[in-house]
Chain A
């Protein structure tokens, strides 16, 4: 096989946090992008897929590892890539035409060539008539067309897109998705290879010829799947559904490993250590969904809950951590504890939660620190540094925010954001 367009080899990425600590965002990533393919980087939020994209383009330097483009090791910006941003990144003071021209600023072109290119991409993405408009006059979908046109104008060999549809409404996203596939399938268009970051499984399968499934904390490549389905693809095609299920299983397996089928309190402490960043209210909503049936397939749940699988899995994981559900295979089953919680009134719910949270590692950690403090108060810095110590792959601030939100809901302890102090630990009623 010819040399790939782009090769990523053993890339690690660390970001430094305040206080001299650092967090590992990407762990030993290797992947390739060849000519004439659409590669999707698929993963839950916080898995570092955007960071990986920015590293590939050369906006970030990898901490270690190398990226080569057409066999040459890349030291600065990737010469053949262009980027479409999630939030468009248009200059508010430039017209549509001028915004597109920005991408061409430093290409060695004559004025007429520049104008020709701009006219061509405006025609390609359907922006005729909007040349003199300013971004503030455009709808989200039109703005993203400008972003796309700016990227296409440089005639990139790899068109990179960072969740390009997630700031748009569903229908607009659908339209643009189809248009990009048309551009890719049309051999006369400049689009050659596409690298797209997404958290939506169906978007990945709809668009990509190859799907790189990523896991989080730290970001790793779980699997690379080929997707040979012919364009145009339909979400109801049996092959589409089959592939979707495979990806579902992979993602699920990563977020909720199968080993402890029913987690006992002891095992939970050792195996699941951090807490998923979801609100308790959402998690209780999951129980409401399960109330009648008692159990549901994950796939079915995504439809009922109107959530992406990657998001739903975090909710399920939270419910499992609280002992409310069990997850044999692809099923989610409500446990007796879950049913008891659902049937309880608000005060009883707080009691149940209060007892349950004490068994979870992160809360136990905070409680221990609070108990050892003479004043009964603890500054957040102390907890944050503990969290950084125990979870080197997660941002301590995020864990802390979830911790506080859950503890407040359960009235386990209190937190003052003005004084930045944890205080008021509730007495343990279980003993």
Chain B
């Protein structure tokens, strides 16, 4: 931009976007005050949930705030855990499997610990309960962000690292200007996935029974669970609409602009994929320009000061390394003692279970396994052909991608009762219906990955199959299925992990005053939480984690290696 143009720009009168940005600021301030009043209020284990529609915006605000707080924690967790895992020598050998296990533990596995400890910490304020709820949402968000950040850090180009070293950048500068920037694209996409993942268990995170205590926090999730319990179809529908509105609003106001902004961190020329009307407006608005230029000013001002303090990096650092080594050993030692202690306690807990309880647990696991496998198989059955069709056609994928994304980020458990009602009218029990529920929750992962995989198949290979006049079956066998295999595998792993977790809400639900349940591991976990039977809960959560991780290790990982060596499209 030439100085002249800049001059003309600033001379323009206020635009409506400027006003809008102002209004947004005021709204945020009001929202913060409202939420703060609720959180610091006296402890109300069972908040009164109003079913009148006019409460819905407020509830949406509460839920959104919880989601955002959880996201902030997820982000911090990702920074620390991901960085340590990638950069501290030897750390990934321990931290990677731990993350793998954490990822496989369903939200109810964390619930008792969070709730009891937090309510204990803040016995008279709502804050404790709120934190527990936020932490539960966090467990649905954090893990994939951490994995993404970790793998970005592992692939930072060596030449760029050399540039930061030659420029004698301090640790902070390198972290912000290289590591974080390089990871930005992946982090943004995974943040979107994470927020969606966090909503999935919103009904559980905001309304749950633990032993004799019934806990409810005002929010969309608790609104929904109340409407479901009462069999209030009208209320359910309103709740679904409110949730949808919140997701669409958040997508347009937050994610689209962020995605558009993050395009600058990619190396490729981008098309219209990452465009956002709001980002265009904001970037042109006066407030943004004022804000960003003053931030830049402060940054440049403070930069030399930072350097002043920056110690020369390349000095002999035996002493620091020595200290660091011992600190690391002490940390590992303490961690090992803690883990041993916890494990001993856990095993002790398990020994109290009777033989019949174990048998029941194992048969439940088998049942849920069958449901999970069928759900993934059914999902593949429709998503593979549909995904290939969408992926091959750029126009369709451009049109459908945002819609699918929206559908995927809608928490499926909220529509479970509607589906179950329909299935029951057709004469199916919950045992069968829950397969449909799992399908509803996890098919998107497969679909996303199939679309991505199909659009990455080089055009030349399609042309070869056309020139060779391949039959439809031949084309699928020789080109499409092998080419899809790596991305399909990613989809299956995510879908299966998600389905295991989703079973806790699919196999057990309160519906019109009744409790619907079927034999399954998810139902066992839900029941155990509600009864406050921590022995069974611990055993069941343990079994689920072991099953998921074991299946990943024994089935998915060998397949993944094969996918990488044989079916990777770039050779």
Contact = CB atoms under 8 A, between A and B. Distances in A.
Interface of A: 54, 57-59, 75-77, 82-83, 85, 87, 89, 91-93, 102-106, 108, 111, 132, 134-137, 150, 417-418
B168 interface: yes
Q: Closest 5 A-B residue pairs measured CB to CB?
A: A76-B314, A89-B159, A106-B168, A92-B267, A93-B265
B177 A83 contact: no
Contacts of A104: 167
B169 A106 contact: yes
B251 interface: no
A314 B170 CA distance: 44
Contacts of B169: 105-106
Given A77-B168, A92-B265, A59 B314 contact: no
A134 B565 contact: no
Interface residues of B, number: 37
Which among A85, A92, A104, A136 has the highest number of chain B CB atoms within 10 Å?
A: A92
A106 B307 contact: yes
* Chief secondary structure at chain A's binding surface: loop
Interface string B128-172: 000000000000000000000000000001011011111111100
A89 B160 contact: yes
A102 B163 contact: yes
Contact of A83 (B162, B170, B304, B310): B162
B166 A77 contact: yes
Given A75-B314, A108-B307, A137-B269, 15 more contacts: A59-B165, A75-B316, A76-B315, A77-B166, A85-B163, A91-B160, A91-B163, A103-B167, A106-B307, A111-B300, A134-B264, A136-B267, A136-B268, A150-B163, A418-B562
A89 B163 contact: yes
13 contacts: A76-B312, A76-B315, A77-B166, A89-B157, A91-B160, A92-B267, A93-B264, A102-B177, A105-B167, A106-B168, A106-B310, A137-B269, A150-B163
A150 B162 CA distance: 13
B303 interface: yes
B566 interface: yes
A59 B159 CA distance: 11
B419 interface: no
Contacts of B181: 91, 93
Contacts of B157: 89
Which among B168, B266, B269, B303 has the highest number of chain A CB atoms within 10 Å?
A: B168
Contact of B168 (A75, A105, A111, A418): A105
Contacts of A102: 163-164, 167, 177
A76 B313 contact: yes
B166 A57 contact: yes
Contacts of B167: 102-106
Nearest to B562: A418
Contacts of A135: 267
Given A83-B166, A102-B167, A106-B169, A58 B314 contact: yes
A91 B178 contact: yes
Contacts, number: 76
A59 B162 CA distance: 7
B243 interface: no
Interface string B533-571: 000000000000000000000000000001001100000
Which among A77, A87, A105, A132 has the highest number of chain B CB atoms within 10 Å?
A: A105
Nearest to A59: B162
Contacts of B159: 85, 87, 89
Contacts of A136: 267-269
A206 B169 CA distance: 36
Contacts of B160: 89, 91
Nearest to B174: A105
Which among B166, B167, B269, B312 has the highest number of chain A CB atoms within 10 Å?
A: B166
A331 B202 CA distance: 80
Contacts of A103: 163, 166-167
Interface string B262-277: 0011111100000000
A415 to B, nearest CB: 14
B184 interface: yes
A240 B173 CA distance: 47
Contact of B566 (A58, A89, A418): A418
A151 B538 CA distance: 60
A111 B299 CA distance: 12
Contacts of B565: 417-418
Contacts of A57: 166
Interface string B289-322: 0000000000010011001001011111000000
A105 B314 contact: no
Nearest to B313: A76
Contacts of B177: 91, 102
Nearest to B162: A59
B176 to A, nearest CB: 11
A104 B167 CA distance: 7
Nearest to B262: A93
